[in-house]
Amino acid sequence: MVLVTEIKKNLYKDSIQLMRISQSIKSLGGVVEAAVIMATETNISYLLDLGLYDENKIQADNNDIIIAVKAENRDIAEEALRHAEDELLGRVKAFDSGKKLTGGYPEVNTFQEALRIAPEADLVFISVPGKHAALVTKRALEAGRNVMLFSDNVPLEDEVELKREAQKRGLLVMGPDCGTAIIDGKGYGFANKVRKGTIGIAGASGTGIQELSVLIDRFGGGISHALGTGSRDLRREVGGISMLRCVDLLEKDDSTEVIIVISKPPDPIVEDLIIQRINRCQKPVVINILGGDILKLQKNCRNTAATLEEAAYLAIKLSGIKTAGEEEGKNEKIKNLLADLKLQLSLLGPEQKYLRGLFTGGTLAYEAQLILKNGTEDSLFSNIPLPGIKPVKDLRRSEGHTILDLGDDLLTQGRPHPIIDPEIRHRFIRKESGDPSVAVIMLDLILGYGSNKTAVDDLSRLIKSLKGEKRKSPVFLVHVCGTERDAQNLSASEKLLVDAGAVVCESNALMAMLALKIINWIG
Amino acid sequence: MILKNQNSVINIGVSLFAEEMFNQGLKVVHVNWKPPAEGDSKVADILKRLAYGTKGGKQ
Reduced 3-state DSSP string for A97-127: CCECCCCCCCEECCHHHHHHHCCCCCEEEEC
The answer for residues whose C-beta is within 8 angstroms of residue A90's C-beta and 6 or more apart is none
Shortest distance, CA B3 to any CA of chain A (angstroms): 6
Which amino acid type is present at position A59? Answer: Q
- Cβ atoms within 10 A of the Cβ of B50, count? 8
Q: In this predicted structure, what is the pLDDT of residue B17?
A: 95
Q: Write down the domain spans for chain A.
A: 2-88, 111-318, 329-522
Distances (CA, A) of A162 to A175, A236, A493, B52: 10, 15, 40, 11
Fold of A329-522: Rossmann fold (3.40.50)
A301 touches chain B (CB under 8 A): no
Q: Which of A109, A134, A225 is the closest to B52 by Cβ?
A: A134
- Residues in chain B with CB shorter than 8 Å from the CB of A155 are 57-59
Domain covering A2-88, topology: Alpha-Beta Plaits (3.30.70)
* Distance, CA of A521 to CA of A201 (rounded, Å): 37
Q: What is the mean pLDDT of each run of 10 residues along chain A (523 residues)?
A: 90 88 92 92 85 80 89 94 90 50 80 97 96 96 98 95 98 96 98 98 96 96 98 97 98 98 96 97 97 94 96 96 68 85 88 96 96 87 92 91 92 86 93 95 97 96 92 92 96 97 96 94 83
Give the per-residue pLDDT at A100: 38
Instruction: State the pLDDT confidence band at B58, using cuts at 50, 70 and 90.
Output: very low
A228 in B contact zone (CB under 8 Å) = no
pLDDT of residue A11: 83
- Cβ(A466)–Cβ(A443) below 8 Å: no
Which among A417, A401, A411, A291 has a CA at the least distance from the CA of A357? A401
User: Half-sphere exposure (CA, 13 Å, Cβ side) for B24?
Assistant: 29
Domain locations in chain B as residue ranges? 8-52
Predicted confidence at residue A413, as pLDDT, reads 76
Q: Supply the angle between the helices A206-218 and A308-318 in degrees, to the nearest 10.
A: 50
A130/B59 Cβ within 8 A: yes
Whole-number CA gyration radius for chain A: 23
B3 touching A (Cβ < 8 Å):
yes
Name residues whose C-beta falls within 8 Å of residue A216's C-beta, 6 or more positions apart in sequence. A194, A195, A197, A199, A222, A223, A312, A315, A316
Residues of A in contact with B24 (CB under 8 A): 186-187, 449
Residues of B in Cβ contact (< 8 Å) with A21:
none
**What is the predicted pLDDT for the residue at A342?**
85
- A111-318: CATH homologous superfamily? Succinyl-CoA synthetase domains (3.40.50.261)
How far, in Å, CA of A206 to CA of A215, rounded?
14
Alpha-carbon gap: B22 to the closest alpha carbon of chain A (Å): 7
What integer pLDDT is reported at residue A99 of this predicted model? Answer: 38
In chain B, what residues touch A16 (CB-CB under 8 Å)? 14-16
Contact of B46 with chain A, judged by CB distance below 8 Å, is answered with no
Q: A486 vs B43, which has greater pLDDT? A: A486
Q: Which residues of chain B lie closer than 8 angstroms to A95, CB-CB? A: none
Q: What pLDDT shows up at residue B57?
A: 38
Set of chain B residues whose Cβ sits within 8 Å of the Cβ of A102: 19, 22-23
Nearest CA in chain A to B39: A10
Q: Does position B54 have pLDDT exceeding 50, yes or no?
A: no
Q: State the DSSP H helix or E strand holding residue A455, giving kind and residue range, or none if neither.
A: helix A455-469
pLDDT at A328: 59
Name the DSSP letter for residue A31: E
Is A121 within 8 Å of B10 when comparing Cβ atoms?
yes
User: Cβ of B42 under 8 Å from any chain A Cβ?
Assistant: no
pLDDT value of residue B35: 86
**Using the beta-carbon criterion (under 8 Å), do A126 and B51 form an inter-chain contact?**
no
Q: Is A404 helix (H, G, I), strand (E, B) or coil?
A: strand
Q: How many CB pairs under 8 A join A and B?
A: 168
Cα–Cα distance, A359 to A464 (Å, whole number): 19
- The reply to whether A111-318 and A329-522 are identical in fold is yes
Average confidence score pLDDT of chain B: 80
Interface of A with B in 331-370 (CB under 8 A): none
